[in-house]
Amino acid sequence: MNSAASARIRLKGMLIKEGLQIIRDPSSIAIAFILPVVLLFLFGYGVSLDAKHIPIGLVVEQPDTNTASLTGSFSQSTYFTPEYFHSIKAADTALKEHKIEGIVWLKNNFSSQLLNGQTPDIAVLVNGVNSNQAAITQGYIEGTWVTWLQHYANLSGHAFKPTVELEQRVWFNPALNSRLYLVPGLIAIIMTLIGSLLTSMVVAREWDRGTMEAILVTPLHINEFLIGKLIPYFILGMGSMLFTVTLAIWQFDVPLLGSFWLLLLSSTLFMLVSLAIGLLISIVSKNQFIAGQISIMVTFLPAFMLSGFIFDINSMPEVTQLITQIVPARYFVAILQTLFLAGNIWPVLLANMGALVLMLIFFAIIVRKKSTNHLE
Amino acid sequence: MTSPLQLKSVSKSFASKERPILAVDNVSFTLTPGKVTGLIGPDASGKTTLMRVMTNLLIADSGHIQVLGLDMATQGHAIQSSLGYMPQSFGLYEDLTVQENLDLYANLQSVPLEERPKRYKILLEMTGLQAFTQRLSGQLSGGMKQKLGLACILIRPPSLLLLDEPTVGVDPVSRRELWQIIYRQVADEGMTVLVSTTYLDEAERCYEVLLMHEGKILGQHKPADFNKTLTGRTFRLEAKGILYRQLLTQLEYRSDILDASLGEDNIHLISAADTPFDQAALLSDLRLLKHVTDLRITPAPAQFEDVFIATLKAQTTTLSPPKKIKTVINKTSPEDVIKVVKLERRFGDFVAVKGISFSVRRGEIFGLLGANGAGKSTTFRMLCGLLPASSGSLSVAGHDLRTASATARRNIGYMAQKFSLYTNLSVSQNLRFFAKAYGLSKSRQAERIQWALTTFELTDYQNSNAGELPLGFKQRLSFAAALMHEPDILFLDEPTSGIDPLARQEFWQRTNALAETGITVMVTTHFMQEANYCDRLMIMAEGQVLAAGTPNEIRQLATTDNQAMPSIEDAFIHLIEEHTPPQDITS
């Protein structure tokens, strides 16, 4: 038998073994196919980053038709669920008790200022504990206020200074539906879990249980071992990716504006990067528990928090922004969000794919250097 | 025929926190082709490291290794491809079936498909695994796993086979079968085999023995030639009217006796090399003891264990006899401290312990013997109050375990099989933890820790992490931890498994001394010779008691016409085989 034929048989042996182990280990299947469903439903339905039905308090010191018109526009807005208070004191208490997120205070000179052609002084108080939420609440209150003021001006013929012409138009996600950008980003999270966490743990298990020691003292070459590990988990990861995409499109109505083939190509790239990192972690740690811990710290958590999946990278401190440059998921999330929501925007896609290619080359070289037929 | 394995001045060291550890120290030897050679040495003597260096799993720091005519420095992978190696963990995938494991190794060895059925048939027959091909290997018993591991290596019979402690933790029946397989390979295939082991009786099965200690090879001879070095220095001491283990304590401090250990119904002595053995003085000293009659010293043939102990004791300068643990309080009394009646334990449909009854007297050493899965550990856990009984009654130190297990537990010291120590705490931190866990007062803690460090000679190691200790020292520490609260009853679960003979002997000396102070000791063991240290013992299989009694009574059960003087091991195998056909013992 020639050596190529023997190598083929050895590789086949590894693949059969790995396949059987995946099928028998419920956790691999759970991570690849049940976890995506759970995460999709959680982020698709449970988590929404849009501000809607914000509870606010309205304090009107001297109710009349003008104030009723303004409070009416707060009531009719889907952004707010207003509650009326008789005094600023009562509203203040409610704010402190977190029953409301903000207060709009119309003082008793509201209508007189309005009739004199002045812009009335209204006081807006916002709970600043959650600064993000506070900014959104403040923005929406201002928006509602300015809109009402213009509306009033048009009706009465008064001109107010300062009048700001505000026209908002949101591109790519016109309804500002956070689900639409969360769901594509999830694909990166799931592939990170399979490529790095699962793979690093199953390879480390070979060291833990001493099977590595046994199969290294056979004609099996370390390269064959690595390929034997890569192929099954690559298939598992890509299968999970396709499954997630299918669910995203048909269950969550996320549009795929870009090319499916580009999605497949970039996913392949990212999967390989994740696998290489997973292999590297297992080779360095040689222990299942430590491999799991390292994978969560260096792949999963960064993919979650530093990839732009949930938190916008541009609003991070500069140091953190720099750190995100070495998080592979960052590039993949950018690709995913572009492909799904904007289409084939070549400059964005090429730049991010280029970064992934560089990372793949970098990690593949290290893995190859670190892996030997020795235990040390 | 050239040797398939040659080592010249091979060394290998590891970096460690405190100092580099020289695991293999300038080792040179040449293996005799077509024979079984034993690599024998205590734990941490460097056997496994040496095995890994010879399989290219570790790279030697210096020296030259030639395997099957290949040079390790340049043809490492070719060497890995051609030799057969079974690591201590057997290398089995526990979530694959027996057949799937065999298939995997057949693929890794590129065995042609058409040759496989024939090869599988031979191997399955040889290992007795035909009936279990569809069983997950994780669900096999220890002995079966080892045989499967060996079968996987033998799929394509290698001309050189290296086995790293293949018989550790396996019951005697399985061990015997494993050796039969190895010998068949040597006879049929002309294979050269190197087996590392801590079981000294296995040395006698080898053609040649390499004795290893602290990384060095102390000698390479045929077992008989090793034994010759002790000619005229080994004796048998017999007496009546006293327990041998009690007599043993009288022999520990004599300068003309290098070593004294319990044999089958006698005491085995090795005289010192430099001090002449004064038999007359010994006999007259022993005659002063109460009740002792029929004292007799006769020359005995040297065994390999004697050589091992004599060589190692000569090498080890630090070893001194263990200190007395406590002064004698009371002797064995007829009072039963452990009473078990019709004890049963079920796990679902499976009955692990089937209505056993026995009792243990104060100050007695009571042994529990059995193959894997015989119900020993289950019984043990029930006695320690770790597992409730399904039915039956059991009382320990006068407390019914079903109603007052917490009170009963206060009088119990328990040493678990895997030495439950905190590996990343130092020796003294471990001791402090256990002292606190038992609720000792501050001053008492300090006192007991000091006691443990001196009694168990751990003072030099008190700042080392427990995980870095040699196995024998881990066992000492674990033993000390179980004694922190001065329990009346001591439960020792497989305390000597995997420990070298020297450490084992030391352990039994301590246990013996403890029993002398009135502490009741209950112990499980795989080592049948150790049964001789027990006052009474019980042999279990499949949750039932096969036999119970003194070691002598047990031996008599196996006395037949062609076996007049059976050992405990013979008796054990006899009883087990009588109970079940050998195939199903472990399933």
- Using CB atoms, pick whichever of B93, B94, B112 lies closest to residue A17: B93
Q: Do B83 and A21 touch (CB under 8 A)?
A: no
Whether A166 is in a domain gets the answer no
The whole-angstrom separation of Cα B9 and Cα B217 is 11
Kindly indicate the confidence band of residue B584, based on its pLDDT and cuts at 50, 70 and 90.
very low
Residues B146/B157, Cβ–Cβ less than 8 Å: no
A301–B contact, CB cutoff 8 A = no
User: Is the pLDDT assigned to residue A352 strictly greater than 50?
Assistant: yes
Which has more pLDDT, A148 or B583? A148
Mean pLDDT, residues B70-99 taken together: 92
Give every CB contact of residue B342 below 8 A, 6+ residues apart in sequence.
Answer: B355, B356, B357, B391, B392, B393
Output the CA torsion sign for B384, B385, B390, B391: positive
Kindly indicate the confidence band of residue A275, based on its pLDDT and cuts at 50, 70 and 90.
very high
Kindly indicate the confidence band of residue B17, based on its pLDDT and cuts at 50, 70 and 90.
low
The overall average pLDDT reported for chain B is 85
Kindly indicate the confidence band of residue B325, based on its pLDDT and cuts at 50, 70 and 90.
very low
Whether A172 is in a domain gets the answer no
Q: Which residue of A3, A14, A213, A222 to mutate against B (max B Cβ within 10 Å)?
A: A213
Residues A308/A333, Cβ–Cβ less than 8 Å: yes
Kindly indicate the confidence band of residue B502, based on its pLDDT and cuts at 50, 70 and 90.
confident
pLDDT for the residue numbered B367: 92
Q: Do A221 and B76 touch (CB under 8 A)?
A: no
Mean pLDDT, residues B335-353 taken together: 87
A16–B contact, CB cutoff 8 A = yes
Over residues A157-203, the pLDDT tens digits come to 766 655 444 455 555 555 556 778 788 888 999 999 989 999 999 89
Residues B125/B119, Cβ–Cβ less than 8 Å: no
Report the percent of chain B where pLDDT is more than 90: 33
Nearest CA in chain B to A221: B77
Which of the residue ranges A43-57, A195-209, B332-346, B460-474 has the most confident prediction, judged by mean pLDDT?
Answer: A195-209
Whether A293 is in a domain gets the answer yes
Q: Do B57 and A374 touch (CB under 8 A)?
A: yes
Q: Is the pTM of this model over 0.95?
A: no
A224–B contact, CB cutoff 8 A = no
Q: Do B100 and A13 touch (CB under 8 A)?
A: no
- Using CB atoms, pick whichever of B76, B81, B104 lies closest to residue A13: B104
Over residues B530-546, the pLDDT tens digits come to 888 899 999 888 888 88
Contact list in B for residue A210 (CB cut-off 8 A) is: 87-91
Over residues B416-452, the pLDDT tens digits come to 877 778 888 889 999 999 899 888 889 999 999 999 9
Q: Do A20 and B94 touch (CB under 8 A)?
A: no
Q: Are residues A60 and A10 in the same domain?
A: no
In order of B306, B423, B450, B451, the CA distances from B446 in angstroms are 39, 21, 6, 8
Strands, E assignment, B160-265: 160-164, 192-197, 208-213, 216-221, 234-240, 257-263
Contact list in B for residue A214 (CB cut-off 8 A) is: 85-87, 89-92, 149, 152
Contact list in B for residue A216 (CB cut-off 8 A) is: 57, 80
Q: Do B52 and A1 touch (CB under 8 A)?
A: no
User: Is the pLDDT assigned to residue B51 strictly greater than 50?
Assistant: yes
Tell me the shortest Cα–Cα distance from A176 to chain B, in angstroms: 49
Tell me the shortest Cα–Cα distance from B460 to chain A, in angstroms: 30
User: Is the pLDDT assigned to residue B28 strictly greater than 90?
Assistant: yes
User: Is the pLDDT assigned to residue A219 strictly greater than 80?
Assistant: yes
Q: Where do runs of H (alpha helix) occur along chain A?
A: 3-24, 26-29, 35-41, 65-76, 88-96, 110-115, 131-156, 178-192, 199-208, 211-216, 222-251, 260-285, 288-295, 301-305, 318-324, 328-341, 346-370
The whole-angstrom separation of Cα B551 and Cα B548 is 9
Kindly indicate the confidence band of residue A87, based on its pLDDT and cuts at 50, 70 and 90.
confident
Mean pLDDT, residues A60-72 taken together: 87
A179–B contact, CB cutoff 8 A = no
Q: Are residues A151 and A43 in the same domain?
A: no
Q: Are residues A191 and A121 in the same domain?
A: no
pLDDT for the residue numbered A132: 67
Strand B520-525 with B365-370, pairing:
parallel
Whether A348 is in a domain gets the answer yes
* Poorest-pLDDT segment among B30-44, B145-159, B257-271, B302-316: B302-316
User: Is the pLDDT assigned to residue B345 strictly greater than 80?
Assistant: yes
Q: Which domain holds residue A259?
A: 3-47+177-370
Q: Do B56 and A374 touch (CB under 8 A)?
A: yes
Q: Are residues A182 and A295 in the same domain?
A: yes
Q: Do B107 and A13 touch (CB under 8 A)?
A: yes
Mean pLDDT, residues A2-11 taken together: 89
Q: Are residues A35 and A60 in the same domain?
A: no
Which of the residue ranges A31-40, A330-339, B332-341, B435-444 has the most confident prediction, judged by mean pLDDT?
Answer: A330-339
Q: Do A17 and B83 touch (CB under 8 A)?
A: no
Size of the A and B interface in Cβ pairs below 8 Å = 97
pLDDT for the residue numbered B319: 45
Kindly indicate the confidence band of residue B323, based on its pLDDT and cuts at 50, 70 and 90.
very low
The whole-angstrom separation of Cα B486 and Cα B519 is 9
Q: Are residues A343 and A242 in the same domain?
A: yes
A55–B contact, CB cutoff 8 A = no
Kindly indicate the confidence band of residue A252, based on its pLDDT and cuts at 50, 70 and 90.
confident
Which element (helix H / strand E) includes A56?
strand A54-60
- Using CB atoms, pick whichever of B58, B84, B100 lies closest to residue A20: B100
Which of the residue ranges A116-130, A153-167, A227-241, B266-280 has the most confident prediction, judged by mean pLDDT?
Answer: A227-241
Whether A162 is in a domain gets the answer no
Mean pLDDT, residues B238-244 taken together: 83
Tell me the shortest Cα–Cα distance from A15 to chain B, in angstroms: 10
Strands, E assignment, B503-571: 520-525, 536-541, 544-549
The overall average pLDDT reported for chain A is 87
Tokens 């309205």 found at: A58
CATH, residue A145:
3.40.1710.10
Contact list in B for residue A219 (CB cut-off 8 A) is: 80-81, 108-110
pLDDT for the residue numbered A175: 53
Whether A342 is in a domain gets the answer yes
* Poorest-pLDDT segment among A160-164, B141-145, B271-275: A160-164
Q: Which residue of B12, B82, B104 to mutate against A (max A Cβ within 10 Å)?
A: B104
- Using CB atoms, pick whichever of B57, B88, B104 lies closest to residue A375: B57
Ramachandran region, residue B439 (left: φ > 0; alpha: ψ -120 to 50; beta: rest): left
Q: Are residues A11 and A111 in the same domain?
A: no
ipTM, two decimals? 0.77
User: Is the pLDDT assigned to residue B327 strictly greater than 50?
Assistant: no
Kindly indicate the confidence band of residue B497, based on its pLDDT and cuts at 50, 70 and 90.
confident
A23–B contact, CB cutoff 8 A = no
Using N-to-C axis directions, what is the helix angle for B442-455 and B427-437, rounded to 10°?
Answer: 140
Mean pLDDT, residues B496-515 taken together: 82
- Using CB atoms, pick whichever of A25, A215, A376 lies closest to residue B108: A215
The whole-angstrom separation of Cα A163 and Cα A150 is 8
Give the number of domains in chain A.
2
- From A156, A186, A219, the end of a domain falls on A156
Q: Are residues A312 and A215 in the same domain?
A: yes
Residues of B in CB contact (< 8 Å) with A are 52, 55-59, 76-77, 80-81, 83-96, 100, 103-110, 112, 149, 152
- Give the three-class secondary structure for A359: helix
Q: Are residues A193 and A316 in the same domain?
A: yes
Q: Do A221 and B77 touch (CB under 8 A)?
A: yes
Q: Are residues A182 and A326 in the same domain?
A: yes
Kindly indicate the confidence band of residue B22, based on its pLDDT and cuts at 50, 70 and 90.
confident
User: Is the pLDDT assigned to residue B224 strictly greater than 50?
Assistant: yes
Backbone angles phi, psi at B494, to 5 degrees: 45, 55
pLDDT for the residue numbered B326: 41
Kindly indicate the confidence band of residue B330, based on its pLDDT and cuts at 50, 70 and 90.
very low
Q: Are residues A116 and A226 in the same domain?
A: no
Tell me the shortest Cα–Cα distance from B93 to chain A, in angstroms: 7
The whole-angstrom separation of Cα A262 and Cα B230 is 80
Contact list in A for residue B106 (CB cut-off 8 A) is: 13
Between positions 72 and 101 of A, the ones with CB within 8 A of B are none
Residues B94/A209, Cβ–Cβ less than 8 Å: yes
Backbone angles phi, psi at A79, to 5 degrees: -75, -25
- From A121, A156, A191, the end of a domain falls on A156
Which of the residue ranges B86-95, B309-318, B524-533 has the most confident prediction, judged by mean pLDDT?
Answer: B86-95
Q: Which residue of A203, A218, A224, A225 to mutate against B (max B Cβ within 10 Å)?
A: A218
pLDDT for the residue numbered A235: 94
Domain architecture of chain B: domains with CATH: 5-225 (3.40.50.300), 232-301 (3.30.70)
Which has more pLDDT, A354 or B315? A354
The whole-angstrom separation of Cα B575 and Cα B231 is 35
Q: Are residues A143 and A284 in the same domain?
A: no
Whether A112 is in a domain gets the answer yes
Nearest CA in chain A to B155: A218
Whether A161 is in a domain gets the answer no
Strand A54-60 with B536-541, pairing:
unpaired
